[in-house]
Amino acid sequence: MSKIDDAAAATDKIQDHVDNAFDSLRSAQVNGFGVYADTSTRYRDLITARDEIAAAIDAMKATDWPTNADYDAAEQSAA
């Protein structure tokens, strides 16, 4: 696999973590008094979001991201 292919796969993986974090944060329910209806669920959702963001950050740091020179070389070889 090329550096660009590896980065594209990493981008998909990172985006999955980001999407999971957003999904966990969207699920909060508030009762008629403006208070979380279930604080234990909200706490779990926050932990899930934190863990997903941490996984996304780890994947970002572990990826050897392409440079402009890599993209230029890929374009030239495709032509």
State pLDDT tens for residues 36-46: 999 999 999 99
Look at residue 68 in the predicted model and tell me its pLDDT.
Answer: 96
Q: For 40-66, what is the mean pLDDT?
A: 97
Measured in degrees and rounded to the nearest 5, phi and psi for residue 37 equal: -70, -30
CA–CA separation, 27 and 9 (whole Å): 28
What are the structure tokens assigned to 27, written together? 């699920």
Look at residue 25 in the predicted model and tell me its pLDDT.
Answer: 94
Average pLDDT in the chain = 95
CA–CA separation, 61 and 15 (whole Å): 14
Look at residue 79 in the predicted model and tell me its pLDDT.
Answer: 83
- Provide the residue ranges of all domains of the chain, joining segments of one domain with +: 3-78
Question: Is 75 a residue whose pLDDT tops 80?
Answer: yes
Measured in degrees and rounded to the nearest 5, phi and psi for residue 44 equal: -60, -40
Question: Is 18 a residue whose pLDDT tops 70?
Answer: yes
